[in-house]
Amino acid sequence: MLARGGKYRIMEGSDRFHRFVVIEFPTLEQAVKCHQSPEYQAAAAFRRAPGVGEVEQVIVESGDATPV
């Protein structure tokens, strides 16, 4: 877990989000596997219940974005 909650400032874009969580996995594939696991899906069912709120998730592969 790299970041969870805490202070933040939205510099651009929508201000509808109130909580950010950043988790690091060794690979993109492992992150996807975790998200698709029965254990995660069971836990996620609670926040997916009607009226709980809105969730956005993005899995991003890390790497050097600057071409050599």
DSSP bridge partners of 22: 3
Q: Which residues contact 17 (CB under 8 A, 6 or more apart)?
A: 10, 56
CA distances in angstroms from 16 to 25, 32, 52, listed in the order given: 26, 25, 14
pLDDT digits (tens, 9 = 90+) for 7-27: 888 888 877 777 778 888 988
Would you say residue 34 lies in a domain?
Answer: yes
Instruction: Express each pLDDT in 15-65 by its tens digit.
Output: 777 777 888 898 899 999 999 999 999 999 998 888 887 788 888 887 776
Burial label for 31, CB within 10 Å (0-12, 13-18, 19+), is: middle
Domain range for 45 is 25-53
pTM: 0.69
Does residue 39 belong to any structural domain of this protein?
yes
Q: Is residue 64, in this structure, part of any structural domain at all?
A: no
Q: Is residue 37 part of a domain?
A: yes
Any domain includes 41:
yes
User: Rounded distance, CA 54 to CA 61, Å?
Assistant: 23
* Domain count along the chain: 1
